Amino acid sequence: MLGMAGTLATITAAMAGASIFVAIWLVLAWLLCVILIAIAAHGRGRSPLWWLCLAILLTPLIAALMLLLFAERPDLRVRRDARQGRGGLRLCPSCSEVVRSEARRCRFCLADLTRRAEPLPALIPDDRVEPRLQ
């Protein structure tokens, strides 16, 4: 009888160890899916942080289906690329619209893009600064 009880205890312990191993792998796979949802949201012009939280709260499957329902936002991706100077685009320093990097004049505000942007003048000239009361 002791031999059979020892065998059952060994089998039970092995099953408990295997179930913990499987549970860890399931949690890691779930976290990987959550991160992939955030990466996919970023690629579609959406906020990765919000979609990461949504995938954690709901499930990655429901978040992925919701992400597929929303339209892609290429305008935000183009603006982000222009801000970083990628894709042959840049932002106009005058009106902040996306123009080609080799353009000489902005097609929206007609600003000259060949000159360097001048710094804005100070709002209050230095000679008009009022003394502080102490």
| Per-residue pLDDT tens over the stretch 86-131 | 788 888 888 888 888 888 888 888 888 887 655 555 555 555 555 5
pTM score of the predicted model: 0.52
> Which residue is associated with the tokens 């949690």?
27
- Residues linked to residue 100 through DSSP beta bridges, in sequence order: 89
H-run or E-run covering 3: helix 2-43
| Per-residue pLDDT tens over the stretch 24-42 | 889 899 999 999 999 999 8
Where exactly are the structural domains of the chain?
10-72, 73-116
